[in-house]
Amino acid sequence: MQELAYEIGKLLRDNKLTLGCVESATGGLIASVITEIPGSSDYFKGAIISYSNEAKINLVKVNKETLDKFGAVSPRVAEEMALGGRRVLGVDICLSDTGIAGPGGATDKKPVGLFYIGLSCEKGTFNRRLNLIGNRSENRKAAAEAVLLWLKEYLLGAR
């Protein structure tokens, strides 16, 4: 993922854009990959790990009603995390993730490996669904990589 983070850093610099993230199930992996690149402080402004619902509500202003109605692992929460993080961190682009890494936490409707990722930017706030099939560590890494690949895709389209 280091090569991917390097490419993203170059694209962010070229486009004069800043980045932040709000992580739940990945627990800081996205921020860790981004900050492995020397000079990332030029474009990366910060990360919030909002693992609990209380942190989602208090730190990035996810609506309690959204959590009550859809649950933490939902497209709506991924979007509200990304949008809230964009505002709180004061960045051009904010990424988010929420998911069930496993091995526990699954329900009939929300299996292990279900993740929603979010991206908020000036063009809007969006989400994507991931259905991952690894163990806890593999699912967390796959979700972080998926978020970064989506960011690269977005940045390549922003040119």
Place of tokens 């209380």: 54
pTM of the model: 0.96
**Could you give all domains of the chain from N- to C-terminal order, each with its CATH number?**
2-157 (3.90.950.20)
Please list the pLDDT of the chain residue by residue as tens digits (159 residues).
Answer: 899 999 999 999 999 999 999 999 999 999 999 999 999 999 999 999 999 999 999 999 999 999 999 999 999 999 999 999 999 999 999 999 999 999 999 998 999 999 999 999 999 999 999 999 999 999 999 999 999 999 999 999 964
